[in-house]
Amino acid sequence: MQNNVEKKRNMKIRFDNENDVSVLKNKNVHADFYLDSYLEVFVMNNNKWVFLFSTTIHSTIIIELNQLLIKLHKTGKKQVLDTFGNANVYIFNKAGENLLITNFDKFSNKEEWLYSFDFMEFTKAYTKELRRYLRAMVMEEADIMKRPNFVLLSQGLLELEDIVQEK
């Protein structure tokens, strides 16, 4: 099992979509198609982008990740993220000020890796990327703001920004 610890130094998170947000300008493509396209999530670890997870129905998973981080902050209890697009689940634990993310492979029944981040720094980097992601969608297609998934993503962002402001 790989164990990586990220220190507090300008943490970054990046969402890579299979379809660039400019796909929304194509009138043959509906917002739901974009919101449920393939997504990869990366985090800057030791000055290098590393793959965290991927999913095929990304707006639903990001909504779930928002809620998971909020619950973890409020309760401190273990949370599990199932990305549906692969045989892995991601276990989120809070240990003091740290966020521990474990990649558990259901197929092999083994832990693949464990990353440790400062919880607030991770949440701050995540909200920054989520804010950028939502703005990019609105710039391409203003009507996307009416989509239920966009509304839920925006609500989650506001709650996460409140958590970041607590510190």
Residue 81: CB partners within 8 Å, gap ≥ 6?
A: 53, 61, 64, 65, 68, 89, 90, 91, 92
pLDDT at 59: 87
pTM of the model: 0.87
pLDDT at 167: 67
Asked if the model's pLDDT at residue 67 lies above 50, the reply is yes
Residue 165: CB partners within 8 Å, gap ≥ 6?
A: none
pLDDT at 36: 76
Q: Which amino acid is at 22?
A: S
**Which residue ranges make up each domain of the chain?**
2-166
> What is the H or E stretch that residue 105 is in?
strand 98-105
pLDDT in tens, 98-141: 999 999 998 899 999 999 999 999 999 999 999 999 999 999 88
Average pLDDT value for residue range 3-25: 72
Q: Exposed (0-12), middle (13-18) or buried (19+): which is 8, by Cβ within 10 Å? A: exposed
Q: What is the mean pLDDT of the chain?
A: 88
